[in-house]
């Protein structure tokens, strides 16, 4: 069983958060903390989609490249991308050059523009139970939940792509819709609401 690990700084973390310096910073300052705002959530949905089939560290280390390539993930700007921008992105070594994922990101921006009430309102409707018991080991953390399945279904209904239940749950974890920091992880109690 993989419980929290003690880092060289004397703090207990979810084991994955202690595996690299990049992960440690992401774990301690960002993962699991509430994210609001349509553009901010669009960035996270986009990055989670690009991560599909890859390791998160690959995406995390290219995050600034993604931000530059996709206009800071401003929904209106990305929604205006056409074939020329898609072709340009296929040549951009700062991102993952996958045509289906690039086209999905552009399509998702267009879908986000059409949402009544905005992306933030849609995503946060599916927040998990804040009183759910804290997982004690990584093995207790699910890959999919009924909420992530419902979120994925709603996003797909609204025209989003690359948003299956597992990707939706990773989004929920990363954006603080659920708190999957382990019970003894130092970040768990710091999490702002």
Question: Does the annotation flag 185 for ligand binding?
Answer: yes
Higher pLDDT, residue 129 or 160: 160
Helices 99-114 and 83-90 cross at an angle (nearest 10°) of 140
Backbone phi, then psi, for 57, in 5-degree steps?
A: -60, -35
Confidence of residue 2 (pLDDT cuts 50, 70, 90): confident
Confidence of residue 192 (pLDDT cuts 50, 70, 90): low
pTM for the structure as a whole: 0.95
| DSSP designation for 189 | G
Give the Cα-Cα-Cα angle 26, 139, 31 (nearest 5 degrees). 15
pLDDT over 60 (residue 29): yes
Question: Does the annotation flag 14 for ligand binding?
Answer: yes
CA distances from 77 to 29, 53, 69, 140 (A): 28, 27, 11, 40
Domain borders along the chain are 38-175
* pLDDT tens profile 66-112: 999 999 999 999 999 999 999 999 999 999 999 999 999 999 999 99
CATH for 38-175, among 3.40.50.300, 3.40.50.11540, 3.40.50.720, 1.10.340.30? 1.10.340.30
Length of the chain measured in residues? 193
Q: Of 42, 85, 40, 48, which is closest to residue 162 (Cα–Cα)? A: 48
26 carries an active-site annotation: yes
Q: Of 22, 32, 24, 1, which is closest to residue 192 (Cα–Cα)? A: 32
pLDDT at residue 161, as a whole number: 97
Confidence of residue 193 (pLDDT cuts 50, 70, 90): very low
The first and second tokens of residue 123, run together, are: 């995503």
pLDDT at residue 172, as a whole number: 97
Query: Dmax over Cα atoms in the chain, in whole Å?
Result: 51
31 carries an active-site annotation: no
Catalytic residue among 18, 31, 43, 48: 48
Question: Does the annotation flag 175 for ligand binding?
Answer: no
For residues 12-31, average pLDDT: 96
Confidence of residue 165 (pLDDT cuts 50, 70, 90): very high
Backbone phi, then psi, for 166, in 5-degree steps?
A: -70, -45
CA distances from 191 to 24, 28, 102, 175, 180 (A): 16, 10, 32, 11, 11
184 carries an active-site annotation: no
- Over 125-148, what HEC string results? CCCCCCCCCCCCCHHHCCCCCHHH
Confidence of residue 128 (pLDDT cuts 50, 70, 90): confident
């Amino acid at each position: 069983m993989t419980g929290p690990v003690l880092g060289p700084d004397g703090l207990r973390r979810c084991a994955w958060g202690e595996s690299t310096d990049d992960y440690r910073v992401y774990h301690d300052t960002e993962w699991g903390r509430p994210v609001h705002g349509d553009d901010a959530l669009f960035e996270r949905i986009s990055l989670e989609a690009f991560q599909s089939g890859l390791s998160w560290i690959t995406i995390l280390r290219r995050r600034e490249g993604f931000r530059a390539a996709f206009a800071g993930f401003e929904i209106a700007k990305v929604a205006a991308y056409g074939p020329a921008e898609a072709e340009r992105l296929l040549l951009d070594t700062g991102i993952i050059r996958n045509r289906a994922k690039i086209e999905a990101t552009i399509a998702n921006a267009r879908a986000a523009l059409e949402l009544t009430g905005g992306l933030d309102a849609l995503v946060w409707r599916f927040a998990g139970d804040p009183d759910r018991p804290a997982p004690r080991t990584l093995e207790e953390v699910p890959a999919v939940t009924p909420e992530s399945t419902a979120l994925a279904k709603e996003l797909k209904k609204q025209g989003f792509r690359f948003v299956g239940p597992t990707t939706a749950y990773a989004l929920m974890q990363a954006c603080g819709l659920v708190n999957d920091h382990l019970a003894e992880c130092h970040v768990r109690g710091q999490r702002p609401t």
